[in-house]
Amino acid sequence: QIQKTKYNQVTNKPTPPNLLVPKISLDKMGFNLANSLVGKIAVSLVGCHLLLTCNTSHAITSSSHASFIPISTSQNIRGAARSEFSTGLIIKAVQTPTLESLGEDLGQSKFQNVVVVMGAGASVSAGIPDFRTPGTGLYDSLSKYNLPFPEAMFDLEYYTTVNAQPFVDLSSTLWPGQDSGPHPTITHAFLKVLQDRGVLRRVYTQNIDGLEALAGVDTEKLVECHGHFRSASCTKCQKPVASIESCMETILNKQIPSCDHCGGLVKPDVVFFGEALPRRFSQVIEKDMEDCDLLIVIGTSLLVMPVSRIPQWVDRTCPRLLLNREKVGDFGRVLKASEKAGGGLFIRDVVAQGDCDDGVQKLCHLIGWKDDLDEAYSFAANRHFRDQI
């Protein structure tokens, strides 16, 4: 069923719902909508999540270029319709990307500068809890430390003047490459596949577990926004430790390392709250965003700045893929094309909700990269900490 919206030529806005004419059948209309309707129409096919708009100056027949725009929610449908009425634009037919279409383009090497944003969800299957999931997240498991607030574990002043033990205890379990510790997941292996295929531009990871490097991703391809465990420094004199392996052994024994030069507390080069991001972030982000032709966001709540802004920094025509348990940020938003591009509305995002590993496996299956993924995962599972230093 299609409901016609009467167009008010005086106010340039759709008339109130109580003035709408009765519903008419799509079959009876025979897709010759414009010949039978006056002014602009908005068609809401909620069950199919489609939006159709046209102008009566052109008859829409089975051979015409009608505009069918998939919309994620009925709210978006109504918003898009309101936008069309208020601006008077005619929507041009736009194909919304799907996981299948992105996979096909990726497999055919149509994307050459893939940027990946990684969050804690990518490491959950490695046995590392994410931070904010109620009941199982890291912040929900810190009561034994009597922290004044959960983030105190990553607060530099708290570490140096109050109690360094909570972070040392956490580091002893997170330190990558231990036989009994976390190892790269299917999702981390996927990064290695992208690299080996020559399409990986950069990985921006918010994780400190180092599993991307352990999976074999070159450090040149990595921006570890919140630091890593491959080096450590004194919090007082800032001098790097001579032996990271000695620091590792101290922390694995749940002891607090100290500086050989000044006696200050040493910590791995993990970025605490209040500390600046690594300089590498500012050195490469602008060019990466300019050249990015596919953005993949995996396992993150997109709540921590500045990484949370990366999806908004890529070109507005750049396809974006979200592999996550829930939709986050502005993914799924309906955008309006520029007049130079023909105007109209479009969607650039694909949202695949679920566990990260499941999403990655489905994508690789669609592309035909299953064997590559299995090989990369086997390679990563047998690496140790010394292999990534």
Active site amino acids: 226
Order of strands, edge to edge, in the sheet holding 222-224? 222-224, 200-205, 114-118, 294-298, 320-324, 349-353
**Nearest C-alpha neighbor of 207 from the set 118, 129, 285:** 118
Question: What whole-number distance in Å separates Cα of residue 262 and Cα of residue 237?
Answer: 7
First to last CA, the chain: 63
**Start-end of H helices in 64-200:** 74-87, 99-107, 156-161, 165-174, 186-196
CB 114 within 8 A of CB 194: yes
Q: Which residue has the tokens 């299957």?
A: 125
Q: Which residue has the tokens 């101290």?
A: 250
Tokens of 274: 């209040």
Residue 352 CB neighbour total at 10 angstroms = 18
370-381 and 186-196 helices cross at what angle (nearest 10)?
Answer: 110
CB 172 within 8 A of CB 113: no
Question: What whole-number distance in Å separates Cα of residue 136 and Cα of residue 138?
Answer: 7
